[in-house]
């Protein structure tokens, strides 16, 4: 089975229970593009699960990214009904705080800009990545 078919089956398996519950979730493959440089570069800092917190997105189409920068690829798009388990947070090169999250009930994880989280994300000093 091709990788694309495996991803499609995984996305369907993950999305079905969420959609049946009224949650909004879109899983996408990262787009191929030229690598940005400087402040726009997509970094992939180390993270660990330091936070017991959880929250939700502020809007109906908040992007979960591969790194803590708007130039990083998108792994999923979530809405307000999707519970996000917080892991830890970082400050990116532009000075913005991002929280590493896992979509509750799935293995899908990534970074969300803290201003897109209902409670401002994981920002306690003990939860820094």
pLDDT tens digits, 1-55: 444 444 444 444 444 444 444 455 545 444 444 444 444 579 888 998 988 889 9
On whether residue 117 sits in a domain, the answer given is yes
On whether residue 36 sits in a domain, the answer given is no
On whether residue 94 sits in a domain, the answer given is yes
- Residue 9 belongs to domain spanning: 3-30+43-127
3-state secondary structure of 111: strand
Looking at residue 16, its pLDDT comes to: 44
Q: How far apart are CA 22 and CA 48, in angstroms?
A: 30
Looking at residue 61, its pLDDT comes to: 94
Looking at residue 5, its pLDDT comes to: 43
pTM: 0.70
First to last CA, the chain: 37
Express each pLDDT in 84-127 by its tens digit: 999 999 999 999 999 999 999 999 999 999 999 999 998 889 99
On whether residue 49 sits in a domain, the answer given is yes
On whether residue 35 sits in a domain, the answer given is no
On whether residue 38 sits in a domain, the answer given is no
Looking at residue 51, its pLDDT comes to: 83
Express each pLDDT in 68-79 by its tens digit: 999 999 999 999
Looking at residue 122, its pLDDT comes to: 87
Q: In whole angstroms, how far apart are CA 46 and each of 20, 61, 79?
A: 34, 26, 26
Looking at residue 40, its pLDDT comes to: 57
Split into its structural domains, the chain has a count of 1
Strands (E), 8-73: 25-27, 54-55, 62-65
pLDDT over threshold 60, residue 62:
yes
């Amino acid at each position: 089975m091709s990788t694309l078919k495996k991803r499609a089956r995984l996305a369907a398996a993950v999305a079905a229970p969420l959609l049946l519950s009224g949650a909004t979730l879109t899983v996408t493959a990262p787009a191929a593009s030229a690598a940005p440089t400087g402040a726009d570069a997509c970094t992939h800092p180390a993270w660990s699960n330091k936070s017991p917190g959880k929250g939700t997105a502020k809007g109906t189409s908040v992007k979960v990214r591969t790194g803590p920068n708007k130039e990083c690829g998108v792994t999923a798009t979530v809405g307000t009904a999707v519970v996000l388990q917080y892991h830890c947070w970082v400050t990116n090169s532009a000075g913005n705080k991002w929280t590493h999250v896992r979509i509750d009930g799935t293995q899908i994880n990534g970074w969300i800009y803290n201003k897109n989280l209902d409670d401002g994300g994981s920002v306690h000093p003990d939860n820094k990545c």
